[in-house]
Structure 1
Amino acid sequence: MLKRLVLAGLLAACGLVHAELPEPVAKAAAAHGIPENAIGIMVIRGDAVLLAHHAERVMAPASVMKIATTVVALEQLGPVFRGRTELLGSGEVVDGVLQGDLLLRGGADMDFNEDALVHMLEKLRLKGVRRIRGDLLLDRQLFQPARMDVGVPPFDESPEAYYNVIPDALLLNNNMLQVEMVSDAKSVRAQALPMLHKVAVRADMKLVDAPCARWEDGWRLPGYERNGEQLTVVLRGTFPRNCSKTYAINVLERQDYLERLFRAAWSRLGGEFSGEVREAPASALAPAGTAMENAPAMRLLAEHVSRPLPELLRDINKWSDNALARTLYLSLGSLQADAALGSRPLEPLPVLGPDGSVVAPLPSAARAEQAVREWMRQHRINDSGMVIDNGSGLSRTERLSPEQLAGFLSAAQKSPWAPEFQASLPIAATDGTMRRRLRDSPAATHARIKTGTLNGVVAIAGYVRDANDEQCIVVGMVNHERTGNGAGRNITDALIDWVARNAAALKVLP
């Protein structure tokens, strides 16, 4: 008899704590010396449980945690949601001079890049502005705290890498520099894009005889030097002779990065600016659609909106983009959808002190977690044991069970936005992080699978069509020190392939 999928107590209702692993999965685990109790699996077809192996155990999910973030965001914010960036002015334009400050307000715009900034400044020029008499004020206050990257220890040995970027509400170009390194037999030359005002690159790299393809073996953490207004990015380590490579790095302090890009772009447009670039004081921050008694009158001069949410989800899930996932997670605790604007800020929730006074706004991550857990309760998904840190899976502390993850996928399957969500997942043997996997399996071109990998963690979660062309929810998680060198991937691939080949003939668990 089929069991209704009530994930708040699914395993207890089915009397399941453990089910024998499918033979291909067990063989793959044994071949790599990974014990079966390091593996968690949940397979569901329709409302029936086909396989539950340690499915109730919370485990490190790695990037399959992005499923929780993207499912809840799509349900809560909707497909018309867009992040915003606004450029506002506090003065009138007289003879080409803006008589006041500019305010650049961040609104979790995940597409805010150099082109977007230049386009906004072009609109400013078209309004007749040639010179800015005041300062450029930066408003990052949508997320609380505004700068979550400050003082945080590196996650791993590559803090400069894109996957480690910790976002804020006004993150420009993801704070990345594209560094091009070119060597001949005697020297290494380096340059960077985008072109930043008074920023140079120096390659303090020793030439070595090594294959160009192995250039990263000699890469060392870059840094930068400040000499008055001049900044110099310093590349360190070794580099192969007669080699050319481009690598994106997050090395500049983001206040410097935004200021230098703004000054360079405004100058190229023929604009003049001699003021400072600084964080906006609280008295200048009146969020869109609100009023503050002491805030100067600000009028909108230019704006940029991101792509709609379903398009952003494709980048987050297909390519496992951590920075975008973290921005979206924080947006759950900061923004609501707006059909006209794309999004608008939520009213802040205060943190009260012992005397009842307001101490600070509730942190955005805490508010986002509240949104996720409330959504889980509404969908009868037990949140016990779940630990959610930043919503991306790039975390040592996040935990999620296969049963809980299957609950997110089941709710998404029944959602009005199911097509949008499923289109965001990598397709086996076709695109994203699954493009080179399962090419010889019947799952190829059919299975839609989110992947996750960290040291000691390999996970998959998504939808697989079985031999009768019925869609199954499949979750597989492996937490063990031996998951590296393809071992964990072999186990999860064996699970997907087994479902695609055999699940139609399986007996539904009682």
Structure 2
Amino acid sequence: MIPLQSLSAVSFGRLPPNQTAIYVADLKTGQILYQHRADVAINPASTMKLVTGYVALKQLGPNYQWLTQWRSDAAIENGTLKGHLYWYGSGNPVFDQRDLQQMQAQLQAKGIRKINGRLILDRSIWSNTGSADNFLADQNEVFVTPPDPHMLAYRVWWLTIATNNQAQPVVMVDPPLPNVVVQQQIKLHNHNIPCPSVRHFVHTKFDGVTLQIQGKVPASCLKKSWFINTNKLSAAEFAAHSFRAWWQQNNNDIGFSIGTLPKNTRVLASHRSKPLSDIVADMNKYSNNTIARTLFLRLGEKRQGDTIYNAKALTLQTLQQAHIDTAKLQLENGSGLSRKERVSARLLGQLLQSAYQSSFAPQFISSLPIGGVDGTLKTRFKNTGGQWHLKTGTLKNVNALAGYWIPNSSTQHPLVVVAIVNTPGNHVADLDILVRSLANSYHK
């Protein structure tokens, strides 16, 4: 491999060189092959998730699991829990409705059919959940859903078009939340037309009390599902109402409140998340901000003091111990959903090199989207033989790619490639061309 010797050898195309940062290194020799503005502080957008994922895997290990527990200090008599049930919020970012139902099944397996007390949510695990400032315009979007000790199914409803006994379309709501009135006026379209998305035919509105669903759907929409954000409910309300929805189907209803787990309680139901390596893959493949922010909080939660401060300190310490240049690092929430966060191309490049040599390299590399295959790269880098493993990043005025080019031939060396542009406009296509050209310039 022969490094390019001058800026003129790289074609930036329509990308402004003075707003673009590049770092390319040979993973076999460790040699820096090309760098341009590699030490400038830049907004990384979602390539910041590489930092959070790296530190989490290094500190917690690929097999780490979140443990969610329901506990009580009350006796069980004649099928009745004679007191409160406590849900200690673990912050598990991938806890879903089926997990909740499985935990309720554990209660029933212990003979519990009725709860005389309340569902008490202990939310004390974090001192705060941090910020993602200046995204008010996106407040109704799921991608800005903040982390929460009682995160459940990303706080969304799943809706499915079904048919009733009269063969008329109806919408099934999962979960069927209590205290929410569902008003729906759904008709069947006379024409048999395609249904690429139910959202094209159905309008929904939720005001916190009433869910209104209206539309006319073709037969091709039957059995199709979509989701809506329940942002009019807090995460705690959504979790508690979901518990009530499933519990009261076969048992009694139960109220809820916020409280503190008392001493000397016993576990009545528990759930372990899938391994951290799989959760990091969910985060990176689909650029999930809620997971990333939760991971960041997890780094700071086991110490006294402010959770975010602790997370920032541990992140900085971990990177510095790995001899990664942190001079330009600025952290807000560890997800890249931030107007404040900054890295350098060198930091990301060195981090990727360190991860490639680490004990968790297989899990880290496989967590990244593969060009033309999956995640946020499914429609990009097509026909490249699965050689590109890259984290994407997109914000207003930011387009970023950072990851690996891993050749199919043993005669070629794998590369670290980081390319980030901070300038107005959508530069995805131009960035893809630049990144591919960088690899083409170096391999034989």
Please indicate, yes or no, whether the TM-score normalized by the shorter chain is above 0.5: yes
Partner deviation per Cα, 1:350-401 (whole Å, 9 max, x = no partner) = 3xxxxxxxxxxx1x22211111100121122222232111111111111111
Contact 1:221 1:235 in 2 (8 A): yes
Separation of aligned partners in 2, 1:214 and 1:122: 34
Structure 2 match to 1:233: 211
**Which secondary structure does the structure 1 equivalent of 2:370 belong to?**
coil
Structure 2 match to 1:321: 288
Which letter maps to 1:445?
G
* Residue 265 in structure 1 maps to residue 232 in structure 2: no
- 2:308 aligned to which of 358, 361, 365: 365
* TM-score of the pair, normalised by structure 1: 0.76
* Residue 460 in structure 1 maps to residue 401 in structure 2: yes
Contact 2:25 2:33 in 1 (8 A): yes
Contact 1:84 1:108 in 2 (8 A): no
Separation of aligned partners in 2, 1:83 and 1:437: 33
- 1:307 aligned to which of 270, 274, 277: 274
* Residue 379 in structure 1 maps to residue 360 in structure 2: no
Structure 1 match to 2:77: 94
Separation of aligned partners in 2, 1:154 and 1:175: 21
**Which secondary structure does the structure 1 equivalent of 2:40 belong to?**
coil
Q: CA deviation at 1:312?
A: 0.9
Contact 1:160 1:221 in 2 (8 A): no
Q: CA deviation at 1:440?
A: 3.8
Change (3 A) 1:156 1:225: closer
Separation of aligned partners in 2, 1:324 and 1:20: 38
* Residue 495 in structure 1 maps to residue 434 in structure 2: yes
Contact 2:345 2:418 in 1 (8 A): yes
Q: 1:279-428 maps to which residues of 2 (within 5 A)?
A: 279-280=258-259, 284-285=260-261, 295-334=262-301, 346=302, 348-350=303-305, 362=306, 364-428=307-371
Which letter maps to 1:37?
N
Structure 1 match to 2:124: 141
* Residue 175 in structure 1 maps to residue 142 in structure 2: no
Partner deviation per Cα, 1:232-288 (whole Å, 9 max, x = no partner) = 12469xx677594743222233233222211121122x32244x20111xxx33xxx
Contact 1:162 1:248 in 2 (8 A): no
Separation of aligned partners in 2, 1:225 and 1:477: 40
Which letter maps to 2:269?
A
Q: CA deviation at 1:216?
A: 6.4
Q: CA deviation at 1:196?
A: 1.7
Separation of aligned partners in 1, 2:198 and 2:265: 50
- 2:46 aligned to which of 47, 60, 63: 63
Structure 1 match to 2:229: 250
Structure 2 match to 1:291: none
- 2:373 aligned to which of 425, 430, 453: 430
Q: CA deviation at 1:407?
A: 1.6
Contact 1:160 1:249 in 2 (8 A): no
Partner deviation per Cα, 1:179-216 (whole Å, 9 max, x = no partner) = 35799xxx9965522222232334699xx9x9976986
Structure 2 match to 1:343: none
**Which secondary structure does the structure 1 equivalent of 2:329 belong to?**
coil
Separation of aligned partners in 2, 1:502 and 1:376: 30
* Residue 160 in structure 1 maps to residue 140 in structure 2: yes
* TM-score of the pair, normalised by structure 2: 0.87
Change (3 A) 1:212 1:182: farther
Partner deviation per Cα, 1:117-175 (whole Å, 9 max, x = no partner) = 11111111111111111111001211222x668xx877253423321110112211221
Structure 1 match to 2:174: 193
Separation of aligned partners in 2, 1:387 and 1:427: 28
* Residue 114 in structure 1 maps to residue 55 in structure 2: no
Contact 1:389 1:397 in 2 (8 A): yes
Structure 1 match to 2:390: 449
Separation of aligned partners in 1, 2:108 and 2:372: 48
Contact 2:46 2:287 in 1 (8 A): yes
Q: CA RMSD in A?
A: 3.2
Structure 2 match to 1:129: 112
Structure 2 match to 1:52: 35
Which letter maps to 1:20?
L
Change (3 A) 1:247 1:215: closer
Which letter maps to 2:295?
L
Q: Which runs of 5+ in 1 are unaligned?
A: 4-15, 227-231, 286-294, 335-345, 351-361, 506-510
Contact 1:64 1:452 in 2 (8 A): yes
Change (3 A) 1:221 1:481: farther
- 1:277 aligned to which of 225, 233, 256: 256
* Residue 80 in structure 1 maps to residue 21 in structure 2: no
**Which secondary structure does the structure 2 equivalent of 1:103 belong to?**
strand
**Which secondary structure does the structure 2 equivalent of 1:26 belong to?**
coil
Separation of aligned partners in 1, 2:204 and 2:311: 33
Separation of aligned partners in 2, 1:241 and 1:304: 39
Change (3 A) 1:376 1:154: closer
Contact 1:190 1:202 in 2 (8 A): no
